[in-house]
Structure 1
Amino acid sequence: MNATIYDAVIIGAGPAGASCAVWLSLLGFKPVIVDRASEIGGLSALNPFPDPWNVTAPDLTGEEVSVQMKRSLEAARVPVLLNQQVTDIQRVEDIESETPLFRVLFGENHGIIGRNVVIATGVRHKRPVQMPEGKRYPEILLGPGKHVYMHDFVMKRVAVLGGGDNAFENAIYALDRGVKSVDIYARSIRAQQKWLETINPQSLHVGEYVFNPENMTVNGEQYDTIMVFYGYEPQLAGFNHLNLKIKESGHIWTDHDTAQTSISGIYAIGEVANRMHPCVVTSMADGIVAAKAIQHSLEIL
């Protein structure tokens, strides 16, 4: 086999994938990152706000943190292939290798070979069942991020769907941007008490509700903008055929100590596995767990 064989093909250039790649490179191994996005950072790259929960960079926005990730990858000389959607992972039989190899396919018939694969694809905003995949709704905002920051809220009637922290925090953000009104619809409340104390109780509707994206209505009330915060779901496209063990939550099951999945040589880190409370810091830590486990597996060969 003449093709370059990487020690790890890492799918995803967010905090988990970048951390794993940098550690592997600094440990003396050869990783490569593949990501369908056009920039490094995962969901962080879409966050224009400071992240005070990140104790190493409390004044940096998610976008600025992503720039730091890019600098770290460049300093560690990790190759990163962007704008490449992974379509398949295949086992490769190679008589020259003592362990199974994997071929990761992406784009139009492109592929790279790795001794290990690390799935770090993260999560995406849950889409309401009433909104078909692929159909655009310009005035319906899914999840937090730059699209909320760039949206014009002035004198608009806004509905917020969801009962978690993101729903309440973004409702308060909209209230500070000159809206005409904001109503929150939640089947149950999971938000912190501090957010509840800032919302007018008359604007909060708890219980079942009917959402019609075509008419931009909730319970028959029409709105100019609707913000949807139904949480996140793991991005598993391209991996379903592997029959990886999946947790009841829908995330990939992994060994607690190594981050290895139910298939030897395939690891899952960050929010796609939801091994720890999801955030930038735990995702980076997860990347280190996988990097050290891969180091151990390669050095005992």
Structure 2
Amino acid sequence: MPAAFPPRVCVIGAGPAGMSCALWLHNLGLEATLVDTEKSPGGAMLLNFLNNNWVLGQRGLSGLEMAARFTEHIESLAIPLLLECRPTRLARDAHGQFQLSLETPQGISSVEADAIVLATGTRFRGREILIGLPGFGQCDPGRLRYGPHCFTRLSMLAGKRLLVIGGGDNALENAALALDAGASVTVVARNQFRAQARFIERLQAAGHCALHADARLTALQPSPGGLLASLEGAAGQWQLEVDRVHLLAGYAPNTAFLDGILAAEVAPPQKDERGYLCGDALGRTSTPGLYVAGDVGNPAFPNVLSALAQGAQVAKTIEFDLNQTRPR
């Protein structure tokens, strides 16, 4: 049967890119449905605990607060928002219609669509990086923090010894905030530091702070005073006793789920060597009918602003593409 009109689009991922895409689809006259595995919409914004002054017009709001505003906008338009729903199969019939099967709290359900938007974002890399280190299994989990959680309860670091692992903006900003809270900080980066110069210069000039590039953690084990970290770098090997370890080692795309849900007639969309989805400038993937928006396809500059813009762009692309297939 021919596609129903207005066209139906299923957006997988209810972060800023997904919500922006659904909003634009709605305003362009298409039927959008948002699907997300989490209990609340917002994606990575739900883990942004600090006030974000990088989004125009949203000054002083945390990611949680911005997510609440975005969600209210979506709900005010009665755009269907299916939460706690895990995609289990994506099939396509002879007429090109997609059927997305979902595992929901109420059981198995499905959504039919003329196009699918993949806006599943990224996840922070955490415990899996350290789990193979000698001694890690015996360490007190309460002394370890990963990704965005490193930015919580910083006031408790006063007088403590902190080891930060990572060389990007998040790692060095975290180190700077820990110093402000009264901690002594050591930062270890596997390669050269790639953070903004202002962070590097500030930490280099600070007391109670040491920066080690081209170094790595080789073991982590309990000690009478906290944790004993074994490190290796250009200067050789050394050990450092600390009270807490913060791991800020970047992000990975949420694309692995696709490998297990695509039916034979749906070709896997192309990914790069890190697993990010490859799309053209307008958000089309290598698989007709599948589109990509937001951080899951943007390893170069992932952020809320680019996600919002890409969501809008993909909505316009879908409107154009589906209009080309309408009966005349």
Quickly name the TM-score band, shorter chain normalised: 0.7 to 0.9
Q: Report the alpha carbon displacement of residue 101 of structure 1 after superposing the two structures with TM.
A: 2.0
Higher helix share: 2
Q: Is the 8 A contact 1:9 1:104 kept in 2?
A: no
Map Cα deviations across residues 61-98 of structure 1 (whole Å, 9 max, x no partner). 2111111111110122111112223233222x26xxx4
Q: Does structure 1 retain, via aligned residues, the 8 Å contact 2:173–2:199?
A: yes
Which runs of 5 or more residues in structure 1 are unaligned? none
2-structure distance, mates of 1:298, 1:223: 58
Within 2, Cα distance between the matches of 1:154 and 1:101?
A: 54
For 1:33 and 1:218, the matched residues in 2 are separated by 46
CA contact (8 A) 1:25 1:77 kept: no
Q: CA deviation at 1:148?
A: 2.4
Deviation at 1:218, TM superposition (A): 4.0
Q: Is the 8 A contact 1:144 1:170 kept in 2?
A: no
RMSD of equivalent CA atoms: 2.5
Residue 21 (structure 1) shift:
0.4
For the pair 1:226 / 2:254, whether they are aligned, the reply is no
Find the aligned partners of 2:22 and 2:102 in 1 and give their Cα distance.
19
Secondary structure of the structure 1 residue equivalent to 2:111: strand
Normalising by structure 1, we get a TM-score of 0.87
Pairwise CA distance, 1:223: 2.1
For structure 2, which runs of at least 5 residues remain unmatched after alignment? 232-238, 263-267
Q: Which residue of 2 aligns with 1:235?
A: 254
SS at match of 1:160: strand
> How many Å separate the matches in 1 of 2:77 and 2:215?
51
2:117 is aligned to: 118
Match of 2:174 in 1: 170
Instruction: Kindly indicate whether residue 319 of structure 2 is the aligned counterpart of residue 277 of structure 1.
Output: no
Distance 1:73 1:87 in 2: 25
- Cα–Cα, structure 1 residues 245 and 154, in superposed 2: closer, same or farther, change >3 Å? same
Structure 1 distance, partners of 2:147, 2:113, is 34
Return the match for 2:97 from 92, 96, 100. 100
SS of the residue corresponding to residue 199 of structure 1 reads helix
Is the 2:49–2:148 Cα contact (8 Å) retained in structure 1?
no
Q: Per-residue deviation at 1:207?
A: 2.0
Deviation at 1:55, TM superposition (A): 1.4
In 1, the alpha carbon distance for the partners of 2:141 and 2:292 equals 33
Correspondence for 1:150 among 140, 153, 170: 153
How do 1:58-97 and structure 2 match up within 5 A? 58-91=59-92, 93=93
The CA distance in 2 between the partners of 1:81 and 1:12, in whole Å, is 10
The amino acid that maps onto 1:129 is: I
Partner of 1:185: 188
What percentage of residue pairs aligned between the two structures are identical? Answer: 31
- Aligned with residue 207 of structure 1, among 192, 204, 214: 214
1:262-273 to 2 correspondence within 5 Å? Answer: 262-273=286-297
Name the larger-Rg structure: 2
Give, in angstroms, the shift of residue 200 of structure 1: 4.2
Quote the Cα distance in structure 1 between the aligned partners of 2:103 and 2:219. 36
- Per-residue CA deviations over 1:205-254 (Å, capped at 9, x if unaligned) read 22222243554424232322111111111011320254321123431011
| CA apart distance, 1:138 | 3.0
Give the corresponding residue for 1:130. 130
User: 81-90 or 30-39, which moves further after superposition?
Assistant: 81-90
Alignment partner, residue 160 of structure 1: 164
For the residue of structure 1 that corresponds to 2:38, the secondary structure is coil
Aligned letter for 2:321? S
Structure ranking higher in strand proportion: 2
Matched, 1:56 2:57: yes
Residues 74-127 of structure 1: CA deviation (Å, up to 9, x unaligned):
122111112223233222x26xxx433232433453322222111111011123
Q: Which letter maps to 2:210?
A: S
Asked whether the equivalents of residues 88 and 103 of structure 2 are also in contact (C-alpha less than 8 Å), the reply is: yes
Instruction: Give the alignment's TM-score, normalised by structure 2.
Output: 0.81
Match of 2:322 among 277, 290, 298: 298
2:270 paired residue number: 245
CA shift for structure 1 position 130? 2.7
Corresponding residue pairs, total: 290
Larger mean CA deviation between 164-173 and 267-276 belongs to 267-276
> Are the aligned partners of 2:97 and 2:113 in contact in 1 as well (CA < 8 Å)?
no
Shift of 1:24: 0.7
